[in-house]
Amino acid sequence: MTKRTDLPALLAEIHRDAQPLFGQGRVADYIPALAEVEPRRFGLAIATVDGQTHSVGDAHTPFSLQSITKLFTFVLALKLEGDAVWQRVGREPSGAAFNSIVQLETENGIPRNPFINAGALVITDILTTRYAHLDYALLGALRRLADEPNLHWNPRVERSERETAHRNMAMAYFMKSHGNFRNEPETVLDNYCRQCATEMSCAQLAQATLFLANDGRDLGRLGEPDEQFLSADATRRVNALLLTCGAYDAAGDFAYRIGLPVKTGVGGGIVAIVPGVATIAVWSPELDAKGNSVLGAFALERLVQGTGWGHTSI
C-alpha cells in the first residue's frame, strides 16, 4: 500500500518543508488562554496497527485538544446509546462554521452532526445524563486508550473557555427550547469546556485513536489481549463521519486533498485515521480562516502523497 517505507526520513522531510509556512495562520484568540500559545510549534506522530511508532518535532509536547475531544465523547455516546443517538443529532456535513447557530433555527434544534459545537453539546448532554462525573469518565477512557495514566485537563484553559462560552450557551438554551436538551445548560457547559481543555501530545493522541484504524480493537499492553473498544461496524461508521464532517466546513477540501477520516481542533491539532494501517496526529497552533491548522493540513497532504495512504485506504 505504501509508496515508501522509510517513514522517519519522510517525517524529517515534512518537518523541514513545513517551516516556511509559519506565519500564514494565526492562533485561536477568541479563547484568551489559547491566544498565549507559542505559534511556531510543529509536531507529528504516527502509530501503526502492528505496534510501531514514529515522530518528529514537538510530538511529545502536550497541547489543548479542543474539538478533537468531540470524537471521543461521540464514541462514548455511541457505545452507550447506539442508534438512539441519531434521534437527537444528525450525520450530515453542516457547510457552516463550527459555532454557527443559524441551522438550529431552521432545523428545529437538531444539530447537523456530532462534530460541530451544537452537536457536541447534545452529545455532552447525553453523557451528562449517563455519568455522574463525565470529566473523569472521559479521562479514564483516554488514559486507557493512550496508555498514559497522567492525562489531565488544563484548569486555566477550562476557565478561559467557560468565561467566553456565550455563543455555546445560547445554542444550548436554544436547543433546550426545542426539547433537545435534558440537563441544565450551565452543567453541560461546565462538562463541555472541561473536556475541550484536555491536553495530550501527538504521540499520545495517535495511540489513543489507534482503535479506529484497527476495527475498533485497542491494542493489548504488556502481553494483554486486544480489547474490542468499539464494534467493527460502529468503527466504520465513525470513520465515515470523520471523513465527511470532521474538519468543520472544510471537510470537503480535506477529503479532496487528504482523503482520510480526520478530526481537527482549534488548539491546532489534527488526528487522521488510515484504516487497517495507522493513525496520524499532527499539531501546529496557527490556524486558517476555518479553524484548521495550516501546517497540520500541509503535513497530512504531504504524508499521504509520500505513502499512498490517502483515498485508496478507505
Q: For 79-94, what is each residue's pLDDT tens digit?
A: 999 999 999 999 999 8
Q: Determine whether the annotation assigns residue 214 to a binding site.
A: no
Mean pLDDT in the chain? Answer: 94
Q: For 5-41, what is each residue's pLDDT tens digit?
A: 699 999 999 999 999 999 999 999 989 999 999 999 9
Instruction: State how far the Cα of 283 lies from the Cα of 57, in Å rounded to an integer.
Output: 10
Lowest-confidence region among 109-118, 220-229, 293-302: 220-229
Task: State residue 314's pLDDT score.
Answer: 47
Instruction: State how far the Cα of 71 lies from the Cα of 93, in Å rounded to an integer.
Output: 15
High-pLDDT (> 90) share of the chain, %: 88
Mean pLDDT of 54-62: 98
Q: Is 248 a catalytic residue?
A: yes
Whether residue 1 has pLDDT greater than 80:
no
Whether residue 255 has pLDDT greater than 70:
yes
The active-site residue out of 89, 248, 274, 304 is 248
Q: Determine whether the annotation assigns residue 38 to a binding site.
A: no
Q: Which of 44, 109, 84, 70 is nearest to 265 (CA)?
A: 70
Task: State residue 178's pLDDT score.
Answer: 96
Q: Determine whether the annotation assigns residue 99 to a binding site.
A: no
Instruction: State how far the Cα of 289 lies from the Cα of 26, in Å rounded to an integer.
Output: 9
Task: State residue 313's pLDDT score.
Answer: 46
Q: Is 173 a catalytic residue?
A: no
Task: State residue 5's pLDDT score.
Answer: 65
Q: Determine whether the annotation assigns residue 239 to a binding site.
A: no
Domains of the chain by range and CATH?
7-313 (3.40.710.10)
The active-site residue out of 64, 70, 262, 282 is 70
Instruction: State how far the Cα of 180 lies from the Cα of 182, in Å rounded to an integer.
Output: 7
For residue 157, the cross-strand partners are: none
Q: Is 192 a catalytic residue?
A: yes
Lowest-confidence region among 1-15, 127-141, 250-264: 1-15
The active-site residue out of 37, 49, 56, 266 is 266
Q: Determine whether the annotation assigns residue 161 to a binding site.
A: yes
The active-site residue out of 49, 55, 64, 192 is 192
